[in-house]
Amino acid sequence: MAARLIESLATTDAFAELFSDAFVLQAMLDFEVALSRAQANVGIVPRAAADAIATAANAETFDPAQLAKDGLRAGAVPIPFVKALTERVRASNPAAAGFVHWGATSQDVADTALILLLKRAQPILEADLERLETALANLSEAHANTVMLGRTLLQAAPPVTFGLKSAGWLGSVCRSRRRLSEAFDEALTLQFGGATGTVASLDQHGIKVGRELAKDLGLHFPDAPWHTHRDRLAALMCACGVLTGVLGKMARDISLLMQNEVAEVAEPTGPGRGGSSTMPHKRNPSGCVVALAAANRAPGLVAAFLSGMVQEHERAIGSWQAEWPTVSSLLQATGATTAAMTEVTEGLSVDKFQMLKNVESTKGVIFAERAMMLLGEKLGRDVAHRLLDHAARQSITQGRHLHEVLQEMSEIAQQIDPKTLQQIEVPEQYLGSAEQFRKRLLASREEKE
């Protein structure tokens, strides 16, 4: 199912289908069918009634537009939905109609339907995240020794490796994936509490029916209904927000590295990808655009969910009713950015020669810190900093290599031997623990698998 035009950058085909009317309806129907089946197993609903309810639970026979219209008047979609299901059951088995939605409340339907949609969302996200992690690990290994500029406050700084940079992205994705998985595991929990969370209408059968229902739907059975306790869902929304932010950071880095003035990496190309409507020469970071757009939306969606956690007593007014569009928008944003950055990473072009060229274009001033540390051992840090500040300014204004300027400064030449000064701009000699950090990040992923 294609997304609507207005949502074309905000979702994927898989997530647009998942949150479509048909799937939402089916999730509510799945709850009602499983509820009647659980009650039949316990012996409080006739088996024939459960069978009749299952037969009538065909999403294609419902009118989503009418349900939406009626739901707006009722204050909750499950109210007209239950009525419509009851009428369909009555048409084939009048006696069974009285057992539709037996002992449940509208919020039980809405919450559990949402949880069932989240259950279907998890493997979609997991599949893309697995691909993304693999692509990032491969990228890091391939460029373990590819030297590039480090950049701080968008300015050239001492060198790093692209392998370390890729491993940094990988580390944050792995940590976010673990948080997301844990949050999903907690959130995939049945909601079944009846009017006030006691299931009093089922007498002493409430817990037994609840366990049967949870088992049927493949969900956790909670210690108690959670109508106004939204912490599990909130944790999942926060995990989605963090993951989207992590991928947004990665997209920001890649889009900056794609600038013509930098030209160190490039997104994969293809028909209709990355072009401009007016400038044929352009190769735009289209995948990064999708990820950054999602990263811009996600914080507001997370905040909207968190603001709705302050709910009244046993059942709230207006808070849980606000969650469907918030949760669906945030999950679709997370899915869109994950899919986009997976595709970007798997096809990313890396120009290691341009990376080295950009290092060399600084004429060695990025190694002023290295020279300062060598000189500081002899003259003290403050004096060394002052001398290197002066040398760096000369290097920049005169367009000369830093080591040439340093060799002409007697205060420095007397303290550091000429061979060391000559080698001071070799980037491979000033990478510190970059490779050890890179390997630690990759090993961390492997340990968690």
Contact call for residues 105 and 195 (beta carbons, < 8 A): yes
Q: Which helix (H) or strand (E) holds 26?
A: helix 21-42
**428: nearest Cα among 201, 160, 78:** 160
Q: DSSP characters for 176-225?
A: HHHHHHHHHHHH-B----TTTTS-GGGTT-HHHHHHHHHHHHT-BPPSS-
**156: nearest Cα among 392, 352, 374:** 392
Q: Cα separation of 187 and 356, whole Å?
A: 47
Q: Specify burial of residue 318 (Cβ count, 10 A radius: 0-12, 13-18, 19+).
A: exposed
- How many residues are there in the chain? 449
276 tagged catalytic:
yes
And the tokens for 359?
Answer: 């290092």
And the tokens for 409?
Answer: 């400064």
430: Cβ–Cβ under 8 A, 6 or more apart, which residues?
A: 158, 159, 367, 370
Catalytic residue among 131, 252, 273, 315: 315
Q: Cα separation of 213 and 222, whole Å?
A: 12
Instruction: Please name the residue that has the structure tokens 């963090």.
Output: 242
315 tagged catalytic:
yes
Helices (H) and strands (E) in the chain, counts: 19, 4
**264: nearest Cα among 434, 150, 430:** 150
Q: Cα separation of 230 and 286, whole Å?
A: 36
Q: Quickly list H helices, 361-417.
A: 368-379, 381-398, 402-408, 410-413
Q: Cα separation of 377 and 403, whole Å?
A: 18
Q: Cα separation of 378 and 376, whole Å?
A: 5
Catalytic residue among 92, 201, 276, 307: 276
325: Cβ–Cβ under 8 A, 6 or more apart, which residues?
A: none
Q: Cα separation of 252 and 147, whole Å?
A: 20
First to last CA, the chain: 33
Q: Cα separation of 164 and 148, whole Å?
A: 10
- Looking at residue 157, its amino acid is A
Active-site residue set: 276, 315
